[in-house]
Chain A
């Protein structure tokens, strides 16, 4: 094992969020009417995603799926489609409402927790009594 700096690194071939955001908008763009945690706008045409990314990305179905994330009702207006639908989905097995970073034992974990303020306040604090 050696402590040795790395030179001439090959950039990862998957896009950054900035690259996704800068992707040119087309008439088939999907717009999000309400604020959600997703900030990227998605182009549905399959073209190259950026000059520093080696592979062509279609930004197809998987990236459209980013718009599904909705802890509350979100109105999605599909360009070219006059239907407006309210969606509320929670991915199975995964508690998703707000993303937040939690530090567990030194390791940052992006962890999501459902928000329900009704469970937080637990009434009057009672004085602690030491058990014998």
Chain B
């Protein structure tokens, strides 16, 4: 799949405690977005002419992308017109949003246009961690938005970021989401200079994830389903003997991020960071720069001896850089997290598959 991500704005209406983005008052001009879509169209046509099957996705990113909602609605219509007619799988879209600006009209538009909406929500830690710009908690409004979202998209994905100070709320938060009707949760520990993971806090997180595993097994019995995305990924990748290192983790390969000023980046993590631009709308992808960055994306030496290396995200450049400042190093947090998730996923999968829970087996083994 080819992916284009448009950074619609750097602004955000929240002030999350772990956020590392600079919320400058800049947004993407429509002309820049149209130019990016045209370049994307050309790239897709070239893939088609080379005989590759094409499938394409356009993501809208921020800050908070729905601050530019009108532009997004226009650009979806524009892209449908320019790309929708190509002989490829239907164009899909994705928006990760904090939900505050969603309404039913937008959800109806999203449904009509195959927009995947992922909602950022930290569960019971929402109020202490994800406050608005006025310092007010946002759980009440986001919970309402979640209910609205689930009525239109029952398979909505919720994205949780775990702040170390609130790691004790993980399992209860997952249960909260399940109770609300959520059936897909992605979760990841917060990292960077604004958070601090100690051994004690990680131990709390680990105990919570053991409880999440128990929930996962309960809620995947029989015809039920509940996805914990990190577990699902580890299990599916093992079943397919597929490396955790996704092709889109390689710079300039399968995805391009276009910033508000038209500069290209290999991943949303690198947007605006000096030295990581890999081209621009005018100049297109700078292959030499891509090669130069790829050469820095080495496997950490310690990881080469590890028997879990094929199942671990240790070569994800943006994750490594976010944790350590280096493309070729992993942090102790990453290492412990990966080992934990792999172990718990395997324990859960062994039980669920041995018991032949039909829906779970289907989800994991279907090609």
Chain A residues engaging chain B, CB cutoff 8 angstroms? 1-9, 12-18, 20, 37-40, 55, 57-58, 60-63, 65-66, 68-69, 91-95, 98-111, 113, 115, 117, 119-126, 128, 130-131
Chain B, residues 127-157, CB within 8 Å of chain A (1/0): the string is 0000000000000000000000000001101
Mind listing 27 A-B residue pairs with CB under 8 Å?
Answer: A1-B202, A4-B302, A5-B304, A8-B307, A14-B350, A20-B365, A37-B367, A40-B365, A66-B365, A93-B154, A99-B367, A100-B1, A101-B1, A102-B1, A103-B248, A104-B116, A104-B118, A104-B186, A105-B118, A106-B269, A107-B229, A107-B230, A107-B233, A109-B233, A111-B157, A122-B81, A131-B70
Contact of A109 with B308 in the complex, beta carbons under 8 Å: no
CB-CB under 8 A from B366, the residues of chain A are 37-38, 66, 69, 99
**CB-CB under 8 A for A104 and B307, given A66-B366, A113-B114:** no
B15-23, B42-50, B281-289, B327-335: which lies at the interface: B327-335
Within the complex, what minimum Cβ distance (angstroms) separates A97 from chain B?
A: 10
Interface residue tally on B, bucketed by range: 35 or more
Q: Which residue of A lies closest to B120 (CB)?
A: A105
Within the complex, what minimum Cβ distance (angstroms) separates B203 from chain A?
A: 9
B83-91, B166-174, B211-219: which lies at the interface: B83-91
Q: Which residue of B lies closest to A39 (CB)?
A: B367
Q: When the two chains form the complex, which single residue of A39, A57, A94 contacts B354, counting CB atoms closer than 8 Å? A: A57
Main SS at interface, chain A: loop
Q: When the two chains form the complex, which single residue of A104, A106, A119, A124 contacts B81, counting CB atoms closer than 8 Å? A: A124
Q: Which residue of B lies closest to A5 (CB)?
A: B306
Contact of A119 with B112 in the complex, beta carbons under 8 Å: yes
Contact of A108 with B183 in the complex, beta carbons under 8 Å: no
Contact of B356 with A100 in the complex, beta carbons under 8 Å: no
Contact of A104 with B335 in the complex, beta carbons under 8 Å: no
